[in-house]
Amino acid sequence: MAKDTFFCPKRTLNLRGKIMNLSSPIVMGIINITPDSFYDGGKFQSNWQVVKHAEQLLSEGAAILDLGAASTRPGAGLVSATEERERLLPVIKGILRRFPEAILSIDTYNSETAIMAIEEGAHMINDISAGNIDPAMFDTIARLQVPYIMMHMQGTPASMQQNPVYKDLIKEISAFFAERINQLNQMGVNDIIIDPGFGFGKTIEHNYQLLNQLDFFRTFDLPVLVGVSRKSMINRVLGTTPDEALNGTTVLNAIALEKGVSMLRVHDVRQAMEAVKIVEMLKSQSEIH
């Protein structure tokens, strides 16, 4: 086995009876149905446009579609569960009507939204706040028994980038995850994915330190998700805009894959899938030799 890969016994997710194999990295395609997301806000004005975009992402190899109805860009305010559900419900119905086998993740910090989405056929919940914004989220996940992506974030989207400070970045993020994983395990939740939260309450330097030490998170024996797609940690180094950041995104995705992550959350699925194939080929050769 390659020395820099995760020793990760958690190789599967139970998605409402569908077993997803994580022995090779998978790609999650982002669909933002928000007016103000940092890259694609307002891009999809109709349900038909969303379904067409879902078709494209699935055709390019997305294993999961991540649907978000509340922007989490720096400075964004919180969105009510009612508004979120009104945006999400027709989209979930539309995608599953057209693609009944599609695996849907719902990017939400509201437990009420999580309940509605799972009842409508979604398969997993992606919570940027790891239960901090809505204290009912952990109980909800335990009751729903669906996979749960929990992300580390210092502060809230409205405040997280004002002055993020850590005494020991990796140690603090690890302690955060350890406490919450233990809490969820005690509640009977075992399908957990951890997301270190690039750009969420972190400076540019923090983000690159986190990327450099990603393999530290192997200690949790859980799948790790990385979402760096078109973010400012690329643009501030390269002097690019989100529209110009695809090449930088691919570079960071390849580095994350080399460090053993299980999932890439991206706007551009085809390019991420190509990164997966190349890094997997590289690792297969190191195992042979």
Instruction: Report d(CA 268, CA 256) in Å as an integer.
Output: 16
Which one-letter DSSP state was computed for residue 220? G
The helix (H) or strand (E) run that includes residue 160 is none
Helical packing angle, 246-258 and 269-288, nearest 10°: 30
Whether residue 42 contacts residue 71, with contact meaning beta carbons closer than 8 Å, is answered with no
- The first and second tokens of residue 111, run together, are 């437990």
The CATH homologous superfamily of the domain defined by 12-288: Dihydropteroate synthase-like (3.20.20.20)
Instruction: Report d(CA 262, CA 6) in Å as an integer.
Output: 9
Catalytic (active-site) positions: 231, 265
Whether residue 66 contacts residue 107, with contact meaning beta carbons closer than 8 Å, is answered with yes
- The first and second tokens of residue 250, run together, are 């691919």
| 159 contacts: CB under 8 Å, gap ≥ 6 | none
pLDDT number for residue 34:
75
pLDDT number for residue 64:
98
Quick one: which of 220, 219, 237, 176 has its CA closest to 201? Answer: 176
* Tens-binned pLDDT, residue by residue, of the chain (289 aa): 344 444 445 789 999 888 999 999 999 999 998 764 444 545 656 788 899 999 999 999 999 999 998 866 666 667 788 989 988 999 999 999 999 999 999 999 999 999 999 999 999 999 999 999 999 999 999 999 999 999 999 876 656 567 788 999 999 999 999 999 999 999 999 999 999 999 999 999 999 999 999 999 989 999 999 999 999 999 999 999 999 999 999 999 999 999 999 999 999 999 999 999 999 999 998 777 6
- The first and second tokens of residue 125, run together, are 């919940």
How many residues make up the chain in this entry? 289
Which one-letter DSSP state was computed for residue 3? T
pLDDT number for residue 30:
96
Whether residue 230 contacts residue 246, with contact meaning beta carbons closer than 8 Å, is answered with yes
Instruction: Report d(CA 244, CA 47) in Å as an integer.
Output: 27
pTM over the 0.85 mark: yes
Number of C-beta neighbours around residue 200 at 10 A: 24
| 222 contacts: CB under 8 Å, gap ≥ 6 | 8, 10, 181, 192, 193, 194
